[in-house]
């Protein structure tokens, strides 16, 4: 979110919805950027407040950017609705919104190496310098994907980023 806000010349600011928020305009369209400040497993509490604040009625217009264990490190994919893949943050969002029909931009972090670590440990530990570099690139690509969704729609973004 920070990257998208900075691309639009804005900064994220604290809000009463327990999130860092920036409202920007991209090609004349209003875009609300938010980064929940709750625990990830309770992010739905913040998201539902943001949805109300910004009057989002069509949940397909909500784009959630999240990490994905099931994708190789650095891979970025766009998905419309669907399952939660065991992601507790998505589970919280679905529980609070009563739907899973929101759009996702998924950033691959890969499965724990050798299966020795549990998923939560893998997600919470700091990435290596090499992995951090790859993740930084994927964050740029994810921001491009959000801009593509805004400008051309989800299907076009899926064609561009999922191929």
Domain definitions of the chain by residue range: 2-161
User: 131-154, pLDDT tens digit by residue?
Assistant: 889 999 999 999 999 999 999 999
**b/e string for 15-27 if b means 16 or more Cβ within 10 A?**
bebbbbbbeeeee
Residues 2-7, mean pLDDT to the nearest whole number:
92
DSSP 8-state code for residue 53 = H
Judge contact between 105 and 63, C-beta under 8 A: yes
Class of domain 2-161: alpha beta
Residue 90 has pLDDT above 80, yes or no: yes
pLDDT tens for 11-43 read 999 999 999 999 998 878 889 999 999 999 999
**135 three-class SS:** helix
Decide if 76 contacts 116 (C-beta within 8 A): no
The reported pLDDT for the residue numbered 117 is: 56
Each residue of 41-69: pLDDT tens digit?
999 999 999 999 999 999 999 999 999 99
Q: Using pLDDT thresholds of 50, 70 and 90, give the confidence band for residue 115.
A: low
């Amino acid at each position: 979110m920070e990257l998208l806000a900075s691309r639009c010349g804005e900064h994220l600011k604290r809000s009463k919805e327990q999130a860092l928020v920036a409202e920007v305009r991209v090609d004349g369209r209003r875009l609300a950027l938010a980064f929940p400040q709750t625990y990830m497993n309770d992010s739905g509490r913040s998201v539902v407040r943001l949805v109300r604040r910004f009057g989002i009625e069509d949940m397909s217009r909500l784009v959630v950017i999240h990490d994905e264990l099931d994708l190789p490190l650095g891979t970025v994919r766009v998905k419309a609705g669907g399952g939660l893949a065991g992601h507790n943050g998505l589970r919280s969002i679905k529980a609070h919104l009563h739907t899973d029909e929101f759009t996702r931009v998924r950033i691959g972090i890969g499965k724990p190496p050798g299966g020795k670590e549990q998923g939560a440990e893998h997600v919470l530990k700091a990435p290596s310098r090499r992995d951090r570099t790859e993740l930084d690139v994927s964050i740029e690509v994810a921001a491009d994907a959000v801009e593509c969704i805004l400008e051309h729609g989800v299907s076009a973004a899926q064609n561009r980023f999922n191929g």
